[in-house]
Amino acid sequence: MNTKSTDIRAYNALIEHGIRPSVQRLAIMDYLLTHHTHPTIEEVFLALRGEIPTLSKTTVYKTLRMFSEHKAAQMITIDDHRVCYDGDTTPHVHFFCKHCGKVYDLVNEVAPMPSNNVIDGNLIDESQLYYKGICKECREAGQ
């Protein structure tokens, strides 16, 4: 459930990234900021459709794409079939569990940063680093 502080955080995040707030955009940004599960479009849609009956998957898709284009959220492309989103846009490392499908932040890993944003004439404006394997929970469960 939204609180005033998360409403303000979502509103400020949109404004800071040049995105005009709307009911749907605020709800989606709030969801990203309060759920650190790296949700997919489907997961965001299912979570918010009860709160916003007029919400469509297309709206969620277009909104998350816009957030990514404006650097208000990270789009994490795991493979050809799975794209998820992260409200934390600071450089950090992710881990994808090949068994349960969850994506975790590896808070103790430092994301490598190039010393120069131009390498061999190529301008770097974004980087993603994630590892794939079996998460601790799945390993402990013997899966």
> Has residue 53 got a pLDDT over 50?
yes
Same-domain pairing of 71 and 121: no
Q: In Å, how far are 26, 43, 73, 100, 142 from 11, measured between CA atoms?
A: 6, 21, 14, 33, 43
Q: Same domain for 115 and 55?
A: no
29 and 77 share one domain: yes
Of 92 and 127, the structure prediction assigns the larger pLDDT to 92
Mean pLDDT calculated for residue range 115-135: 87
Q: Which pLDDT band holds residue 3 (cuts at 50, 70, 90)? A: low
For every residue of 10-48, which 3-state class applies, written as one string?
HHHHHHHCCCCCCHHHHHHHHHHHHCCCCCCHHHHHHHH
| Residues 77 and 98 grouped into a single domain | no
Structure pTM?
Answer: 0.84
* Domain interval for residue 116: 93-140
What phi, psi does 64 have (nearest 5°)? -65, -35
What percent of the chain clears pLDDT 70, i.e. is strictly above it?
95
CATH number for 52: 1.10.10.10
Residues 72 and 118 in one domain: no
Average pLDDT over residues 77-100: 90
79, 36: one domain: yes
